[in-house]
Amino acid sequence: MSVLLVALGAAIGAPLRYLVDRAVQARHDSAFPWGTLAVNVGGSLILGVLIGGAAAGGVPGSVVTLLGTGLCGALSTYSTFGYETVRLFEDGDRFHALLNVVASVVAGLGAAFAGVTLAEAIWPA
C-alpha cells in the first residue's frame, strides 16, 4: 500500500513541480533559478508541517507517505538545484551560483522549521 501512496503523491508532485517552476521562472528575467528555489522551499515547508504534525500525533503515517514521501519527494528537487548551481558557476555567474546555494539552504531550512512550528501550533503535544 505504501508504494501506491508514494506513486500517487509523486504523480501529483512531479507535474506540480514543473508547472510552478515554469510559472515562477517566467516572471523573472534572470539566470537565477527562482522556480527551483520556490518548489524546494515550498516542499520544505509542506514536509515540515507533515513531520511536525506526525510527531504530535495529528498526521497519520499514510498521509506522511502520500504527501511527504510522494508529493514532496517529486515536488522538490536536489538534483536540479545541483545542476543549476554548477551551470551558473560554469557560465561564470559565480555570484548567482553562490546565492543559489546560500538561499536554497537557508530558505529551505527556515521553511522546514516554520512548518514544524506551524504544526506544533495546530497540533499541540
In terms of residue numbers, what domain contains 78?
Answer: 2-122
Say if residue 76 carries a ligand binding annotation: yes
Spatial contact of 46 and 66, defined as CB atoms under 8 Å apart:
no
Residue 102 confidence (pLDDT): 98
Task: Give the count of domains, the chain.
Answer: 1
59-94: per-residue pLDDT in tens? 999 999 999 999 999 999 999 999 999 999 999 999
Those residues whose C-beta lies under 8 Å from the C-beta of residue 52, and which sit 6 or more positions away, are 115, 116, 117, 118, 119, 120, 123
Residue 50 clears pLDDT 90, i.e. is over it: yes
Spatial contact of 35 and 94, defined as CB atoms under 8 Å apart:
no
Please state the pTM of the whole predicted model.
0.94
Spatial contact of 82 and 16, defined as CB atoms under 8 Å apart:
no
Q: What mean pLDDT do residues 106-118 have? A: 98
Residue 125 clears pLDDT 90, i.e. is over it: no
Confidence of residue 105 (pLDDT cuts 50, 70, 90): very high
Residue 54 confidence (pLDDT): 97
Say if residue 44 carries a ligand binding annotation: no
**Three-state SS at 101:** helix
12-47: per-residue pLDDT in tens? 999 999 999 999 999 998 999 999 999 999 999 999
